[in-house]
């Protein structure tokens, strides 16, 4: 790492950006920094397109930026504390180093604004569907009991559906309802052709068996992707699930929108829940990361996490992941949400993540806040899955 004199970074970039002798690769990388061009709404490619035959061992032409010469430049203006790191490759035949990528320490991954752009794209598609075939996607939610957090999540989903033009219907059931009550409600939605996605808001009261209830949910409408068939197809190379679970899909989208390279990176997923941790680990692996899964029986979780380039935490334990758990420059995706009593907030509580944000933001190259990180993305992915399901049903592909 060579540190360039303070004050010179903008000139340095500007010169390279507009210099006719700069390579097109350099210019593209730098102009992406200035105004990233995001044409697709959803950036995740089909998983099968990521599958690569594993029959060449060992395959070790070290990929990734870690092995390349790089230097960081302190941005002197605006009084910000963030640091831009520019990754160069030195190729003898060129006069100048080739810029491969740039990153900024402590960059906030703004899930809210990315989700907004995705929702706006979905709204256009829904509107196009309506005007073309007179149909809109439909999402059904089954809510059991009075949990405040569940109610808040459902409220957000309803608002998001309304915003993009997806039809939203809900069945509310009493906390003491039976397994059969839920299954009856599910069966009605399964049979309703105007409903393309069904979710049972989890967690359910303890007397109900989540697994058996979710098994009743039609595979073609399982927009949460929690059916074991979906999970198996997510895990297995050469296969494609009908739906990828929303929170993990949102995590990958955030990484892709921020141009984080996943292939060959060390990823640690903290938590192994069926809803987030497990599918997140499977999805990262399909994207060619080297994945380790940390859970309550892991010894030295901080040591394992400290080795990761990408950390996804999905536990629900406030401030579990401290700054000392992170490698400098790691990208941190905080899926944890934990309601903490706070009478100052509108609903009497606020949401806190797994990661001690104040500490982590000083170490990570990029980090999601809670709220405003994965949360809005999860809802955007639910809308996207519902839209995809409707498109499949009506064979409507633009």
Q: How far apart, in Å, are the Cα atoms of 67 and each of 62, 63, 64, 88?
A: 7, 8, 7, 10
Least distance (Å) between residue 311 CB and its own copies? 14
Q: Distance between CA atoms of 252 and 247, rounded to whole angstroms?
A: 9
When the beta carbons of 104 and 298 are compared against its own copies, the nearer one is 298
| Active-site hit among 201, 261, 265, 334 | 201
Rounded to the nearest whole angstrom, what is the least distance from the CB of residue 225 to its own copies in the complex? Answer: 10
- Please name every residue paired with 267 in a beta bridge, in sequence order, or none if there are none: 291, 310
Nearest distance, CB of residue 47 and its own copies, angstroms: 13
Q: Find, among 349, 358, 287, 353, the residue nearest to 315 by Cα.
A: 353
Catalytic residue among 157, 167, 221, 265, which? 157
CB of 307 to its own copies, least distance (A): 9
Choice between 151 and 290, CB closer to its own copies: 290
224 is annotated as an active-site residue: yes
Q: Which is nearer to its own copies, 69 or 263 (CB)?
A: 263
Q: How far is the CB of 227 from its own copies (least distance, A)?
A: 7
Reply yes or no: is the peptide bond before residue 371 cis, omega within 30 of 0. yes
For residues 337 and 355, give the distance between their C-alpha atoms in angstroms, rounded to a whole number. Answer: 10
CB 16 within 8 Å of CB 254: no
Q: Does 55 participate in catalysis according to the annotation?
A: no
Distance CA 280, CA 271 (A): 10
Per-residue exposure over 19-41, b if at least 16 CB sit within 10 Å of its own CB, e if not:
eeebbeebbebbeebeeeeeeeb
**Cβ atoms of 345 and 366 closer than 8 Å:** no
For the bound state, the minimum distance from the C-beta of residue 372 to its own copies, rounded and expressed in Å, comes to: 23
Angstrom distance (rounded) from CA 99 to CA 259: 14
* Count of beta carbons in the 10 Å neighbourhood of residue 68: 15
Name residue 341's beta-bridge partners.
349
Tell me whether residue 197 or residue 271 sits nearer to its own copies (CB atom): 271
Judged by beta carbon, residue 7 or residue 228, the one nearer its own copies is 228
Residue 157 annotated to the active site: yes
Q: State the catalytic residue, choosing from 167, 222, 224, 309.
A: 224
Site residues (CB under 8 A) for its own copies?
A: 52, 54-60, 62-64, 66, 210-211, 227-233, 235-239, 263-264, 266, 271-274, 278, 282, 285, 288, 290-299, 301, 304, 315-317, 320
For its own copies, the closer of residues 83 and 365 by Cβ is 365
Residue 15 C-beta: closest distance to its own copies, Å: 33
Nearer to its own copies, 59 or 128 (CB): 59
Q: Are 200 and 182 in contact (CB under 8 A)?
A: yes
3-state SS assignment for residue 147: coil
| Residues facing residue 83 across a β-bridge | 74
Exposed, middle or buried, 274 (CB in 10 Å: 0-12/13-18/19+)?
middle
User: Around Cβ 78, how many Cβ atoms within 10 Å?
Assistant: 7
Active site positions, annotated: 157, 201, 224
């Amino acid at each position: 790492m060579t540190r360039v004199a303070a004050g010179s970074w903008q000139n340095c970039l500007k010169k390279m950006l507009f210099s006719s002798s700069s390579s097109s690769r350099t210019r593209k990388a730098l102009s992406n920094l200035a105004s990233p061009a995001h044409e697709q709404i959803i950036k995740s490619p089909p998983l099968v397109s990521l599958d690569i035959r594993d029959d060449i061992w060992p395959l070790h032409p070290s990929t990734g930026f870690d092995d390349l010469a790089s230097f960081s430049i302190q941005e002197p203006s605006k009084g910000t504390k963030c640091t831009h790191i520019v990754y160069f490759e030195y190729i003898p035949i060129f006069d100048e180093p080739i810029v491969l990528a740039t990153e900024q320490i402590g960059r906030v991954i703004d899930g809210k604004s990315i989700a907004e752009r995705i929702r706006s794209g979905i709204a256009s598609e829904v509107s196009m569907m309506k005007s073309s075939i007179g149909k809109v996607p439909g999402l059904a939610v089954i809510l059991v009991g009075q949990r405040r957090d569940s109610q808040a999540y459902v409220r957000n989903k309803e608002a998001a559906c309304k915003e993009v033009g997806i039809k939203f219907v809900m069945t509310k059931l009493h906390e003491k309802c039976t397994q059969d009550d839920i299954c009856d409600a599910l069966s009605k939605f399964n049979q309703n052709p105007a409903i393309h996605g069904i979710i049972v808001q989890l967690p359910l009261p303890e007397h109900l068996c989540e697994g058996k209830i979710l098994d009743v949910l039609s595979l073609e409408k399982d927009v949460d992707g929690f059916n074991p068939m979906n999970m198996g197809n997510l895990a297995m190379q050469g296969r494609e699930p009908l739906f990828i679970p929303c929170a993990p899909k949102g995590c990958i989208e955030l990484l892709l929108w921020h141009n984080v390279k996943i292939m060959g990176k060390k990823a640690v997923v903290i938590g192994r829940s069926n809803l987030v941790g497990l599918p997140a680990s499977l999805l990262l692996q399909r994207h060619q990361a080297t994945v380790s899964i940390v859970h309550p029986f892991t010894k030295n979780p901080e040591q394992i996490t400290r080795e990761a380039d990408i950390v996804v935490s999905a536990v629900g334990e406030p401030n579990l992941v401290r700054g000392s758990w992170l490698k400098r420059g790691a990208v941190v995706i905080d899926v944890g949400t934990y309601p903490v009593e706070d009478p100052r907030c509108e609903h009497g509580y606020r949401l806190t993540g797994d990661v001690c944000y104040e500490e982590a933001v000083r170490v990570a190259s990029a980090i999601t806040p809670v709220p405003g990180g994965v949360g809005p993305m999860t809802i955007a992915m639910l809308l996207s899955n519902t839209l995809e399901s409707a498109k499949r049903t009506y064979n409507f592909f633009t």
